Amino acid sequence: MTSNPSEPSGGGATNKLVATGLIGLALASGAVVIATHVLRVFTPAGQRWDDAAYLEARLTAPGVQQACEWILSTLTVPTIALGLAALLLVSVVRRQILVGVAIVAAFAIAIVLAEILARVIARPDLAPALTALVDDDSANTFPSGHAAIATGLGLGFIMVSSRRWRGWVAVGGLAFATAIACATVIAGWHRPSDAVGGVALSTGWLALVGWLLARQRGTRAHSIPGRSAAAAGVTIVILALACVWVLATIGPEGFLLAFATAEALIILGTAAAFAGMVLSLRGISLDR
């Protein structure tokens, strides 16, 4: 008797494969958090680069800064609660209640940890010439809660979505998370290292929970290469337009190179987080 090609198969082998991909993403994200904090907070060169990018961001046109502040204002307690409720609703409709609850728990842990770290980690003054020009009340500490929230929501929706739509959900989530992370710097709310740390922190926790879920319930399913390729194409276009926009909004004076590389790093880092999640789950079903 032949098996139905639409049915999942090979669960045991798939569990090991998914566990490898997701635990690798979790460990890599944790390494990024540590490396970002050490290199860009506890070294003079890192602090100079971080502060130079922050100061250059303050030279953006007022209209651009206001637009970024509006983008950031969309993340409020009610909208975050609405996003989590929608995520849980999707998990209930798709009969993945355990997946939804686990993702919300990981999201909560990442956000609480981000807030704790931002309050307890001190930033020594190793580049006084530039630090004196930075308003530390506006440039909050490491990591960015806004970047962590946006990334956590985006990755969470990927994990509860149908395999058929994961790629497109990733495009939307990536656009949202990238906009929030970049806006925190342009609006003067955070230094670049804070945004990178927030993205990596949420990615690490969501990937860790994904690893646990995959080991328990992951099964093999056929991937949909056509949709994945189309989603990847749209993502590349969005990233290209984002890079052009970032470079076009900055004036000729100041620390342009530091800012441009910082925003590019945020964009590419966020893209890597979402691509890593999609690729780790490719051909995998968390339905049970």
Residue 37 located in a structural domain: yes
Residue 87 located in a structural domain: yes
Residue 102 located in a structural domain: yes
pLDDT of residue 242: 60
pLDDT 10s digits, 111-154? 999 888 888 877 777 766 666 666 655 444 789 999 999 999 99
For the chain, which residues score pLDDT lower than 50?
1-11, 14, 138-140, 224-226, 228-230, 232, 250-254
Q: How far apart are CA 167 and CA 169, in angstroms?
A: 5
pLDDT of residue 1: 43
Residue 58 structural domain? 11-123+132-285
Residue 3 located in a structural domain: no
Of 113, 97, 218, 217, residue with least CA distance to 160: 97
Q: The pTM is what? A: 0.82
Residue 106 located in a structural domain: yes
pLDDT 10s digits, 14-41? 455 556 788 888 999 999 999 888 887 7
- Please classify residue 61 by burial: count the beta carbons closer than 10 Å to its beta carbon, then call 0-12 exposed, 13-18 middle and 19+ buried: exposed
Residue 4 located in a structural domain: no
pLDDT of residue 62: 82
Number of domains in the chain: 1
Residue with tokens 């139905």: 4
Of 13, 81, 20, residue with least CA distance to 207: 20
Q: How far apart are CA 279 and CA 229, in angstroms?
A: 12
Residue 17 located in a structural domain: yes
Of 150, 169, 149, residue with least CA distance to 159: 169
